[in-house]
Amino acid sequence: METEIEAKFTQIDIDKTRVKLRALGAACEQPMHEMKRVTIDTPEMKAKNAFVRIRDQGDKITVTYKQFDSLSLHGAQEIEIEVNDFDKTVKLFTAVDRPHFSSQESRRETWQLGDAEIVIDEWPWLDPYLEIEGPDEQSVKKVASDLKLDWDKAVFGDVMSAYKIQYPHIGPHDTIGNLPEVKFGAPLPDIFKTSK
């Protein structure tokens, strides 16, 4: 598996972030676009903080096994391949008794600054966040510093690490992977409400 070296910074202002990125000479590789995904897991995968994701990113479709050995800069491990048909790939997993439970949509904008990739992500019921991925810790920290982001406020892990900042009351096993649909405009699910 490959180690992803990445950090998230939550509750960002998208317009101000774009201004900072342009000032640093970053190039917008893909403007804000819709993405869809399904996630597949088993009790065994959950025990390892892992899941399989089939994602249509707009410019490519990927199948990824993700495992979070720790919620740290170096904690994400993944194996990813490209496929050419989202619906057929979902059907293939269903045919081998690995149906998805959760369908999710989000929006993403991708920037490149040197050897670092910066993405701005929007998810339902969540303030936008920024993720920096680079080849090493130094490159990720440099981009964060150049963007005037507070490294002490960096979070690590999958998108749930951002949800847990905005909804600190949610439990350790509350996850959007437990929701059948994660869609923009849908009512706030019970797991995010302060009084359940």
Q: Is residue 171 part of a domain?
A: yes
Domain that holds residue 19: 2-176
Beta bridge partners, 131, equal: 8, 119
Q: Is residue 183 part of a domain?
A: no
Q: How many domains does the chain have?
A: 1
Cβ neighbours, 10 Å, residue 76: 23
Q: Is residue 170 part of a domain?
A: yes
Q: Is residue 194 part of a domain?
A: no
Q: Is residue 115 part of a domain?
A: yes
| pLDDT value, residue 173 | 82
pLDDT tens for the chain, 196 residues long, are 888 999 999 999 999 999 999 999 999 999 999 999 999 988 899 889 899 999 999 889 999 999 999 989 899 999 999 999 999 999 999 999 999 989 999 999 999 999 999 999 999 999 999 999 999 999 999 999 999 999 999 999 999 999 999 999 998 888 998 999 999 999 999 999 986 4
| Contacts of 152-155 spanning 24+ positions with Cβ under 8 A | 153/9, 153/10, 154/7, 154/8, 154/9, 154/73, 155/7, 155/8, 155/9, 155/10, 155/71
| pLDDT value, residue 195 | 61
| pLDDT value, residue 163 | 97
CATH number of the domain encompassing residue 157: 2.40.320.10
